[in-house]
Structure 1
């Protein structure tokens, strides 16, 4: 797996008490930075959305990173844990 560098992350609760968080990260060999956002009503079942974190990069790179996140639970967990930890919640 490519080297992951998390630039910043955070997690909070919204007005409906849902968990809402994000992590901005880069991956070795990728030109663009990405932002993954997380949403959970219960802190256990997570939905996510992936976007470029600034300047858009090649769509094929975006699709590769999205597929990596879908297929690699450890990568997803690392990103989610960074958001949870930054927000001061327990993982």
Structure 2
């Protein structure tokens, strides 16, 4: 599965930790996705995956979620996009 990363952002609060958002497209999928990333210390990340604009197929989003669970390189690329956005800000 090929992903194309778009807009990204990250904020850090000393008490709450890190919260980031990354928009991305998946080759062959009509809708854009957005992942919200959460980490207390910036080491272990949790996430929520949703459609960025309009709803789409539940099968497709489940497919993307399974891909991100299995492909550490793709998941790490999304985290890095958020971290890079924080460093540019």
**Would you say same fold, with TM above 0.5?**
yes
Q: What is the root-mean-square deviation in Å for CA atoms of aligned residues?
A: 1.4
After the TM superposition, which parts of structure 1 deviate over 3 Å for at least 4 consecutive aligned residues? none
How much does 1:3 deviate?
A: 2.3
Alignment gaps of 5+ in structure 2: none
Write out aligned runs for 1:1-91 (5 A).
2-14=1-13, 16-88=15-87
Q: Deviations over 1:30-72 (max 9, x none)?
A: 1111000111111101111101001111110010000000010
Normalising to structure 1: TM-score of the pair? 0.90
How much does 1:22 deviate?
A: 1.0
How far apart, in 1, do the equivalents of 2:25 and 2:13 lie?
Answer: 27
How far apart, in 2, do the equivalents of 1:38 and 1:87 lie?
Answer: 13
How far apart, in 1, do the equivalents of 2:38 and 2:45 lie?
Answer: 6
How far apart, in 1, do the equivalents of 2:19 and 2:36 lie?
Answer: 7
